[in-house]
Every structure is written in structure tokens, then in C-alpha cells.
Amino acid sequence: MRRRELWLGRRLGAWAWLLHRLAGIVLALYLVVHIMTISTARFEDGAAFDRIMRTFNNPVVKLLEILLIAAVIFHMANGFRVILLDFVLGIHHQKALLWAVMGVGAVILVAVAVTLLPLALASGAR
Amino acid sequence: MPIDMNEVTFKVFRFDPEKDKKPHWQRYRVALRPGLSVLEGLLDILDHQDGSLAFRFSCRGAVCGICAMYIAGTPRLACRTQVAELKREEITIAPLPGLPIIKDLVVDMKPFFAKYEQIRPYFLADAVPGEKESLQTPQQRRALAEYIDCFLCGLCHAACPVAATDRRYLGPAALVKAYRFIADSRDGHTDARLALALGEDGLWRCHTIFNCVEVCPRGVDPTHAIQEMKRLAVWRRLAGKTRP
């Protein structure tokens, strides 16, 4: 008999690792859907693609896009941290490093949201 | 926890393979006193309430590393954990996960030490030639100090999500010891030692989660040692010193 337990312990390093994996899975799944969607451009002289794009042109999808970009940014920022750690850089400051890359990520995300949100709000009106 | 509280509950994992089909939790009330550690609380239970409770301990002073267990959701040494500092009315105490349970809080450390043996934790045959001492400068000795401090309590192994999901993963403790010999100026078997630490269940399984660093009671940084070995392995391969 063994006890099974995955200790996350609310420690930053563990959460960064777990979220990194989850974001990675989300992005991989998105990629499949994305490739399927753009592949429709081959059919009906692009009319199928236009139809799908029109369905996607609504606030919910636009908001989901912002979430998708949040996942991309998290995966990218933490990925940069992991690369630094692989070069044994900042290994004793991994938490500070996480906050630093998350800070940069947050700035990028705000810039993206400021750009996309008006589009999201306008898309429903059309 | 209110200051006037004079008792806490220990919720203890109980399992006797000779009698029980599955484990259960048993609650004990333990009187608080200043400086009460979880280990002392368990000893109080053993002495005055339930002589059948099994747990391991030896030095009572965080020198031996034997009383490693899962306390209030975190791998800790029972002797080094102050009950008052947990600030809980009920403290759950369970055996280390991932290892076969012998009885109650006692786990079989054999799989853990089998991994330790895999990295050959001793000087290799020709490492110390002749009858003369192998001298080290204080600086060379300092390079090892952190890794020699590891007393193999197994907390890091219990805290590691990779070790929890991959039973064959060498784990932080064994890998730290592999690095202890690589960092030793008297050993000189870097490539052979790296070969032992590499492979499917070795170095590259570490995903820099840092849980091992969080729980180490000796201030060892296994992640740092592992990353140093990864870097070393890559450079030596690129320099053509090792073959795939």
C-alpha cells in the first residue's frame, strides 16, 4: 500500500510548472482547431472560411481570444524563465524571476487587451 | 488559533497491514505546552493514549532525518515542526507518499535507497590512489559542504511531483549525491557519474519545480545541483567528451 499525493503546497515554483503545462495543452488543442479553421479556405473558393469567420465575429470569441493570448504570454514568459534556469541563471531567485517575467507578461497582456477589447465590443454590433 | 487554546487534535493516518484492509484516520487530543513539537506530541500519544501507534524517530533534534512525514499537508520533519507554528486546531499527520507503508506512519525506504545506490554514492575504485591522503583546499571543500549536509530524510523525494508520478525517477536526493561526487575534487569520474545520473529516469526528468528546495530541512538546493549537472552534461557532449 502506498499513499498517492502530488504536493503543490501553494509554492510558486510548483504552480508555475503546473500552469505552464496546462497552458501548453490549451495551446496545442487550440492549434488543432486553428489549423482546421484556416484549412476551410480551400473549400468553396473561400466562402466556407468567410462563413466561419463571421460566426467567430462575436464578443464571446473575442474575449476567448484574449484568454488565449494570456495563455500564450504565460507560456512564453515562464518558458523564458525556464530557459534561464536551464543556464543556471537566477537559480536562487526563481520566485523573483517568476514575478519579473509575469510583470513583463502583464504589460504585454494589457497592451493586447486594450487593442482587442474595443474590437470585441464592436464585433457584436455588426 | 486562539491563544488560550490548550489542546490540539492530531488526525493520524493509521494502517496495520496485518489487521486493516484499508487505512483510516484516528484523532487524538494532545495537550499543548510551550515548545511542543509534532514528534513530542506523537510520543505523548504513544506513552499515554495508544501504544499501538507506529512512527520512526531517533535524534529528536533534526540531525538524523528519520522522522520525515507529511504534516498538515507538507512534507516535514516531525521533530523540527512546532505545533504552535502550524496555527491549526487539527493537524493531519500521514506517512510520506509514494513509498510502501509498513505500518501507520512508517514507510519502507528501500525504493528510496535503491535510487541512492544507483548513482554509486562512494568514491570509485581508482579515485583515491596510493596510501597518501587526498588533500583539498578549503575552497574545494566548500564546494561540497551543501551537498554533504543532506542526511537522506526523503522529504525532497516526497515533495517532488515528478517522483510522485514516475516511480523510477531518481529524484532530488539521489541526484544531489551524484553531484556531490562530481563537485568533489578527489573523485575525477565526472563522465561516469553523469552517465549514471542521465538517462530516461534521471536528470532530464527534473522540471525545475523547486518543491525539493522548499522542503529541505538542511538548506540543500537540489534543483541547483541538478541544473549544474544538466549544463555539464550538455557542454561535455558538445565538446565531444562523451558519446550519445
User: How far apart are the CA of A76 and the nearest CA of chain B, in angstroms?
Assistant: 16
Q: Read off the C-alpha cell for B133.
A: 591522503
- Is the ipTM above a cut-off of 0.90? no
> Chain A neighbours among B 95-114 (CB < 8 Å)?
95-101
Residue B181 to residue B176: CA distance in whole angstroms: 9
Looking at the complex, report in whole angstroms how far the Cα of residue A16 sits from the nearest Cα belonging to chain B.
8
Task: Read off φ and ψ for residue B76, nearest 5 degrees.
Answer: -145, 165
pLDDT in tens, B5-46: 789 999 999 999 999 999 999 999 999 999 999 999 999 999
B13 contacts A17? CB cut-off 8 A: no
Check CB contact under 8 Å for A9 and B73: yes
pLDDT (tens digit per residue) in B85-131: 999 999 999 999 999 999 999 999 999 999 999 999 998 866 556 67
Using an 8 Å CB-CB cutoff, list chain B residues near A4. Answer: 97-98, 164
Q: How far apart are CA B76 and CA B191, in angstroms?
A: 34
- Using one digit for the tens of pLDDT, what is the confidence trace for B164-204? 999 999 999 999 999 999 999 888 889 999 999 998 899 99
Superfamily of domain B7-107: Beta-grasp domain (3.10.20.30)
Contacts of B191 (CB under 8 A, 6+ apart): B236, B241, B242
How far, CA to CA in Å, does B52 sit from each of B32, B37, B62, B109, B143?
A: 22, 20, 24, 21, 45
Domains of chain A: 11-125 (1.20.1300.10)
Q: By three-state DSSP, how is residue B18 classified? A: coil
- CB-CB: which of A2, A6, A12 is closest to B161? A6
Confidence (pTM): 0.89
Dist. CA A39–CA A41, nearest whole Å: 5
For chain B, give every residue range classified as CATH 1.10.1060.10. Answer: 110-238
Topology annotation, domain B110-238 = Fumarate Reductase Iron-sulfur Protein; Chain B, domain 2 (1.10.1060)
Cell of B114: 535503491
Q: Per residue, what are the HEC states of B72-119?
A: CCEEEEHHHCEHHHHCCCEEEEECCCCCEEEECCEECCHHHHHHHHHC
